[in-house]
Amino acid sequence: MKIKTTIYLIISLGITTSSAIAQKPNKKGKANPHKHHRNNNVDPGEKSAAAEERMLDHKDDHGLFPQAGKDIRPKGINEYNQHTYKRITALLKAGKITEGQGTVFKNQQTIITKELTAAKQDGTITADELKSLRSQLDKLNDNITTVAGTGEEGSERTPLLNRQQHRLEESIQSGEKSGRLSTLEASSLRRKLAKLNSLEDKLKTDKEITQKEREKLFEEANELRREFKKALFD
């Protein structure tokens, strides 16, 4: 019983893989009966998706994503707007909403941000402006809540790729804001990132990403990251 409990604990912490567990002897010293009954017809892409999910499950369950993805509506308009953006990206990274949904929500949040910036230009935000901005954020968060949890599933999921894409998106924005990237360089990188996102959407039309397709997406993402670093340090 003690050995069995220990094995369960190791599994829950993600310290070992299912293949390693399969080779452990059971209480009577016999080989695991499931070892010789694996489904060899499982698509490698599905195995990769499952592996990615296992790597991220512990972090998602115990890290910042559940909190960032919650429908929290701060009283301050700046805090509310910032949390809305963080909520969208958190749900995207966790695979709780699709790339397409995330793009729509990000575009809407960008429009709200521009209106907020314009409203603050004279140093104050009127009561009517504040009411309008909060109403837009409320509607956006209502829409996010409606679809949250209906994102990608199974072999369609690409959580590691998603995180890499969103980190790159934020890095481009930060690089342009700091002046380390020119407007031209940032625009070029964004176009290539959009092209990568389009390729991902195209490959997911059949609700599945094969191993070969998954490798192609990572190859494209890594090349784009190299281009970003080269532009950043030129």
Q: Is 53 inside any structural domain?
A: no
Residue 134: per-residue pLDDT: 95
Same structural domain, 122 and 194 = no
Residue with tokens 């972090």: 59
Q: Is 224 inside any structural domain?
A: yes
Residue 140 burial by CB count (10 A; 0-12/13-18/19+): exposed, middle or buried? buried
Same structural domain, 81 and 124 = yes
pLDDT tens for each residue of 93-130: 777 787 778 889 999 999 999 999 999 998 889 999 99
Give the C-alpha distances (Å, rounded to integers) separating 124 from 117, 118, 129: 11, 10, 10
Residues 6 or more apart in contact with residue 160 via CB below 8 angstroms:
52, 55, 56
Q: Is 216 inside any structural domain?
A: yes
Cβ proximity of 161 and 219 under 8 Å = no
What is the model's pTM?
A: 0.55
Q: Is 106 inside any structural domain?
A: yes
Residue 97: per-residue pLDDT: 82
Terminal CA-CA length for the chain: 60
**pLDDT tens, the chain, 234 aa long:** 444 444 444 444 444 444 444 444 444 444 444 444 444 554 554 555 555 555 555 444 444 455 667 888 999 999 999 999 989 988 887 777 877 788 899 999 999 999 999 999 988 899 999 999 999 999 999 999 988 866 666 666 777 787 788 888 889 988 998 999 999 999 999 999 989 988 888 888 887 788 888 888 888 989 999 999 998 887
Residue 41: per-residue pLDDT: 53
Same structural domain, 145 and 171 = no
Same structural domain, 95 and 75 = yes
In the chain, the number of structural domains is 3
Find the angle CA(226)-CA(216)-CA(150) to the nearest 5 degrees: 105
- Give Cα 28 distance to the centre of its chain: 43
Residue 151: per-residue pLDDT: 63
Q: Is 117 inside any structural domain?
A: yes
Q: Which domain covers residue 26, as residue numbers?
A: 2-38
Q: Is 48 inside any structural domain?
A: no
Q: Is 175 inside any structural domain?
A: yes
Is the torsion defined by CA of 212, 216, 217, 219 positive or negative?
Answer: positive
Residue 66: per-residue pLDDT: 58
